[in-house]
Structure formats: C-alpha cells, structure tokens
Amino acid sequence: MVFYRNKQQNTIEKLAVARYDVGENITSAWDKEKQPNQWGRLVEIINEHNPKKIGINMSQYFGIADGLVQTDYQELKETLPQNLEDKLVSAEKLAIGWIETRTQMEMELYNTLVEITHDIIDEAFSEKVITPGETTTEDVVWWMRQKVTEFGLETWFHPTIDVQRDNEALKSHIASFSKAKKKILLFQEICCIVTSESPTSVYIQIANNVPTF
C-alpha cells in the first residue's frame, strides 16, 4: 500500500499496488496488463509523485512500525533506482502518531467503554457470580466472556484471571495463565484486588492464611 500526502493541497492519496481495492478507501493502482511487474508499478507510482522522503514500515525499537519483512525490504532496494533508494527512511513516527491519535468520537465512546468494563469487573467479583469454595477462576473468566457477548461487544483478547497468594513465589505470566489445575476462589479471604492497565486482565492477591487448592 502507498500513502501520499500533498502538504500544499492538504490531501492524502491512498493506493494499493494490487489488482483490487483494499476496503472502501484504498484504491487499486495496478493494471497487470499494462505493467506485469508489481514492483515496477510501485516505482512508477513513486516517480509520478516525486516525494521528498519515502517512509517504509521499518523500526529498530517499535514493533508496530516494523512490519516490512527482510525479503520485501531487499526486493524493494533492488528495484528502486539509487535516487529513490536514498530517500528511504523509517516511518515509525508516522505509525506511532497514528496509533496514538484519538478522534472526538473515540474519546466520547472511550468513557462509556471504561464504565462498562468496570461494571463487568465489579459484578464478576461479587456474590452474584462467586460462590465461596465452589467458583473457580475459569468460571469467572467464562462469565465475563458471556457478559461481553450479551452486550453485543467484542474484545481485543479474552479476559484472564489468576489467583496470586503473597506467600507463594512469583511465577511468569505463562505459568500463571496456563491450563493448570483450577484454583477455587474464596471470596471472603480476598484482601486486595488490583487491575492491570488492561481492563480485561485482573490479578488477585490473597492473604497468607488461605490454603492453596
């Protein structure tokens, strides 16, 4: 895909070097009958727009801006003439700036989503859901997943719940969230509930006198 910004006209042209459009906003810019070589068509598009810089999806430090595989990178360099290759730069600032940007609608909806998330967590760790000595962490996970579905929503990833007692050695997240023996939640003994930065990951700290199941 190729995105070209014309600063003077304040426009952004969105093109796909493919035989078909990508979604509703990115237009196909390759006619294979006229130009059989896909890389060749990319060079033509770049020459037509004559940009000062060519930002590519590569970054040493940010994975979100490092999606260009080595094979494609080498083919790109082999295809571009030297005057265009010299213009190649990392587009990491553009990628990070895009993911950081929130529209007005997103900002309005975000407060609603956070409120829904907090309501789900509050109910999940209440006596409406948990029966002391019977309810497992896996039961609560599935309750939360069902609740999200009932709201007609989707999650980026599924909720995870882990019981971590303060007299136990800390384990890695892989061990904590693996399919180990289910642990029983003793709701009366929970002394602290701490939520991580993600509203779908919840960690529970249990007092020393609670037995491990």
Reduced 3-state DSSP string for 93-134: HHHHHHHHCCCHHHHHHHHHHHHHHHHHHHHHCCCCCCCCCC
pLDDT at 97: 93
In Å, what is the CA distance from 205 to each residue of 97, 112, 113, 119, 135? 37, 28, 26, 20, 17
Rounded mean pLDDT, 197-213: 41
Rounded mean pLDDT, 6-35: 94
Confirm if 29 and 44 have CB atoms less than 8 A apart: no
Regarding whether 110 and 95 lie in a shared domain, the answer is: no
Cβ neighbour number for residue 129 with a 10 Å cutoff: 16
pLDDT at 167: 72
Q: What whole-number distance in Å separates Cα of residue 65 and Cα of residue 51?
A: 20
For the stretch 154-188, pLDDT in tens is 888 888 887 777 776 766 656 655 555 555 554 44
| DSSP-based three-state secondary structure for 189 | helix
Regarding whether 158 and 114 lie in a shared domain, the answer is: yes
Regarding whether 37 and 122 lie in a shared domain, the answer is: no
* Chain mean pLDDT for the chain: 83
Alpha carbon distance, N-terminus to C-terminus of the chain:
53
Residue 174 lies in a domain: yes
In Å, what is the CA distance from 87 to each residue of 81, 90, 123? 10, 10, 55
Regarding whether 128 and 95 lie in a shared domain, the answer is: no
- Quote the percentage of the chain above a pLDDT of 70: 78
pLDDT at 158: 85
pLDDT at 28: 96
Residue 119 lies in a domain: yes
Regarding whether 114 and 96 lie in a shared domain, the answer is: no
Q: Does 207 have pLDDT greater than 50?
A: no
pLDDT at 193: 39
Residue 184 lies in a domain: yes
pLDDT at 190: 44
- Choose one of 84, 100, 116: the last residue of a domain: 100
For the stretch 74-84, pLDDT in tens is 999 999 999 99
Residue 159 lies in a domain: yes
Residue 82 dihedral angles phi and psi, to the nearest 5°: -60, -40
pLDDT at 178: 59
Q: Which of 23-27, 129-133, 199-203 has the lowest mean pLDDT?
A: 199-203
Q: What whole-number distance in Å separates Cα of residue 119 and Cα of residue 202?
A: 14
Regarding whether 49 and 9 lie in a shared domain, the answer is: yes
Residue 68 lies in a domain: yes
How many domains are contained in the chain?
2
Could you tell me the residue range of the domain that residue 27 belongs to? Answer: 2-100
Return the exposure string of 17-56: e unless at least 16 CB atoms fall within 10 Å of the residue's CB, then b: bbeeeeeeebeebbeeeeeeeeeebbbbebeeeeeeebbb
| DSSP-based three-state secondary structure for 34 | coil
For the stretch 39-55, pLDDT in tens is 999 999 999 999 999 99
pLDDT at 189: 46
- Choose one of 40, 67, 100: the last residue of a domain: 100
For the stretch 94-113, pLDDT in tens is 999 999 999 999 988 989 99
Regarding whether 6 and 94 lie in a shared domain, the answer is: yes
Burial of 121 (0-12, 13-18, 19+ CB in 10 A): middle
Residue 213 lies in a domain: no
Regarding whether 78 and 66 lie in a shared domain, the answer is: yes
Regarding whether 180 and 108 lie in a shared domain, the answer is: yes
Rounded mean pLDDT, 143-151: 94
Regarding whether 148 and 191 lie in a shared domain, the answer is: yes
Regarding whether 193 and 117 lie in a shared domain, the answer is: yes
- Choose one of 100, 123, 146: the last residue of a domain: 100
Regarding whether 198 and 138 lie in a shared domain, the answer is: yes
Residue 211 lies in a domain: no
